[in-house]
Structures are given as C-alpha cells and as structure tokens.
C-alpha cells in the first residue's frame, strides 16, 4: 500500500513538472510581426540616394565627417558611399531586433544594420552597428544606438537627396 502511494505521489509530481515546462501560449502569436514595416523601410531607402544630415556620437556632433557623401542602399544588400573622390562599399539590412544581438531591451524594435569593412580609425567605422529605427518616411530615416559599453547614445539621420 505504501508502495502504491509512493508511486502515485511520484506520478503526480512528474505530471506537475511536465505541465510547468509546457507553455499554453504560442510565442508566434505574442510577438509583433514587423515584416510589413521592414519591407516599407527597405523600399523607402532603396529609392534614390541619401545623405547624412546628422550624426551625433555620444553628444559630439560628427556630421561633418560625412559631408558630401551620397549613400546608395541597393536591393542586393550592398551599401555604397561616394563623394566624387572617395568611395566606400559595405552592406546593409533591416531586421527584427530579436533576430540579432543588440543593446536594446525592447524586443519590438527594428534594427537597421550597417557594415563597412574599414579600419577602426576610419570615420565610416562609426556607422557600423545594428541601429534601432526611431522613425522613417520616404525622405528621412532616423536611427539611434545606445552603447552597451559606456552607455553613450549615438544618433544618425539620413535624408533623401
């Protein structure tokens, strides 16, 4: 009798443990679907050329580092910046923040990813990041990044030429 009671308790504990590891909610239904907004941002930036009208690096205005450069966001994910004498080629993408590592705790934001393969001393290296999209229109793209290391805030604003 004690043995049956013991097995009964063991069985109930097993069911309790099993039920606590299962979730009744489907993760896919609880997360925001940003796919339409991502497609809209991609369409907006792929149209025409863009200039940086503001780049603030932890409170320091470094917009002049990019004066005269025209940025082209190609549909194949390449990003080019040229000022007539110098050219840089990199990559860009737009992703859900939960699909990449970033510094934001907001899982609903959208990342605008920029990468130029340049030396760390190059001004274009400052643009390499998974920027959070603050706002976007057909003519303006506003981005922000909060540094994980020093907590500084960087902002980057592109405007269509």
At 49 the pLDDT is 98
Residue 143, SS3? strand
Q: Are 89 and 80 in contact (CB under 8 A)?
A: yes
pLDDT, residue 119, reads 97
Strand partners, 48: none
147-155: long-range contacts, CB 8 A cutoff, minimum separation 24: 147/58, 147/103, 148/103, 150/58, 152/57, 152/58, 152/59, 153/56, 153/58, 153/59, 154/55, 154/56, 154/57, 154/58, 154/126, 154/129, 155/54, 155/55, 155/56
Write out pLDDT tens, residues 108-145: 689 999 999 999 999 999 999 999 999 999 999 999 99
Answer yes or no: CATH 2.40.128.270 is held by domain 35-160. Answer: yes
Model pTM? Answer: 0.75
Locate the domains of the chain by residue range.
Answer: 35-160
The pLDDT value given to residue 97: 79
Mean pLDDT by runs of 10 across the 161 residues of the chain is 50 46 45 86 97 95 98 98 97 81 57 98 96 97 85 94 97
pLDDT at residue 145 in the model: 94
Q: What is the pLDDT of residue 103?
A: 45
């Amino acid at each position: 009798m004690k043995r049956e009671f013991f097995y009964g308790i063991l069985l109930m504990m097993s069911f309790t443990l099993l039920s606590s590891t299962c979730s009744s909610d489907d993760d896919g239904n609880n997360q925001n679907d940003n796919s339409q907004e991502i497609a809209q941002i991609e369409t907006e930036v792929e149209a025409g050329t863009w200039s940086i009208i503001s780049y603030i690096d932890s409170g320091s205005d470094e917009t002049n580092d990019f004066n005269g450069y025209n940025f082209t966001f190609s549909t194949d994910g390449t990003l080019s910046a040229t000022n007539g004498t110098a050219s840089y080629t990199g990559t860009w993408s737009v992703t859900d923040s939960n699909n990449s590592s970033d510094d934001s705790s907001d899982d609903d934001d959208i990342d605008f990813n920029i990468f130029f393969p340049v030396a760390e001393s190059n001004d274009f290296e400052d643009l390499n990041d998974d920027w959070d999209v603050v706002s976007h229109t057909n003519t303006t793209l506003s981005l922000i990044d909060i540094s994980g290391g020093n907590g500084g805030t960087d902002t980057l604003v592109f405007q269509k030429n």
